[in-house]
Structure 1
Amino acid sequence: MSAISTERLDLLPLLVEHAEEMAAVLSDPALHTFIGGEPYSPQALRERYQRLVTGSPDPEISWLNWVIRLREESCLTGTVQATVGPGPVAEISWVVGTPWQGRGIAAEAARGLVAWLSLQQVRTVVAHIHPDHRASAAVATAAGLSPTGEWHDGELRWSVDMG
């Protein structure tokens, strides 16, 4: 897994060492309105990141996680992730901290991720989005995904077939 660069962003492979800065980035409880839960403490996020970087216990599934670094501000602003497999399918998600929302960062990061996945022989990219989460729907649209009409756990499935 490599870093991904876009016009303004560097998507850096997740490291356990990112936990402290990311705990602050993701500290707004409003980020959990549609996904549930609550913000992680730095220690809890460190433990979560340790599990993520260790990787999936299923050899047919890859967990790929990046932090989003905004170059002009030299700071982390969120994350993107892809769960790849089994087969040439990736499920993606994203989150950008509240102070950086509304600046196109999530859309740019998601576009960069989808482009990178297309070079990794992924043929279908999917995301599951709460029907009331208009900002995430806009990110999915910007990344080339379209709603499918299929539902999973109260969320609408979006996808793009890349060939």
Structure 2
Amino acid sequence: MLRETVATARLSLTPLSAADADEMVSVLAARELYTYIGGEPPSREELRARYERQAAGGPADGSQEWHNWIVRRAEDSVAVGTVQATVVDGGRVADVAWVVGAPFQGQGYAVEAAAGMVAWLRDHGVAEVRAHIHPEHAASARVAERIGLVATGEVDDEGERVWRTVGVERMETNR
């Protein structure tokens, strides 16, 4: 798969680079962002190192493809968050995640960005999309539901509930 910019009505998903750490460190600085995903706000250096690894696109063995985007408002290019997809199973399955900085939450950015990413994944041959969401993270559960994912009875090793697509038909109606 290619590293492409994805455009939605109000947002631009731009492939991340190490240089994005300078801007993203403040977007990801609120401690409440880590309540359900664990960890703590990264330093600029930690974020730069993480972005360098992620920009590589995946492990050398080719078992995964990593797609990471900075979510920017189209009107002013201000970064508001990130979306990511780890594509496995020969390009047929993607595990997705999203985070929107605290000052930008409640404006529909997570749903719009995640839906844009899922549409891009579909256009590039991904048949199944999954998200792993903490059972108490109601906001992420709403995002998953709005982009066409359904909660399953599965719980992963971290105690998160697995959400997944139920079929192409449902995804198509949410574009």
Q: Structure 2 length as normaliser, TM-score? A: 0.90
TM-aligned CA deviation for residue 45 of structure 1 = 0.3
Match of 1:133? 137
Match of 1:74? 77
Inter-partner Cα distance in structure 2 for 1:89 and 1:137: 20
Inter-partner Cα distance in structure 2 for 1:9 and 1:142: 17
Give the alignment of 1:8-87 within 5 angstroms: 8-57=10-59, 58-87=61-90
For structure 1, list consecutive stretches of 5 or more residues without a partner in the other structure. Answer: none
Aligned-partner SS, 2:75: helix
Aligned-partner SS, 1:72: coil
The number of equivalent residue pairs is: 163
Inter-partner Cα distance in structure 1 for 2:141 and 2:151: 9
For structure 2, list consecutive stretches of 5 or more residues without a partner in the other structure. Answer: 170-175
Match of 1:162? 168
Q: Does 1:5 align with 2:7?
A: yes
C-alpha RMSD over aligned residues: 1.1
User: Share of identical aligned residues, percent?
Assistant: 50
TM-aligned CA deviation for residue 36 of structure 1 = 0.5
Deviation digits for residues 8-43 of structure 1, max 9, x if unmatched?
Answer: 000000111100100110000110000110011111
Q: Structure 1 length as normaliser, TM-score? A: 0.97
The answer as to whether partners of 1:122 and 1:162 remain within 8 angstroms in 2 is no
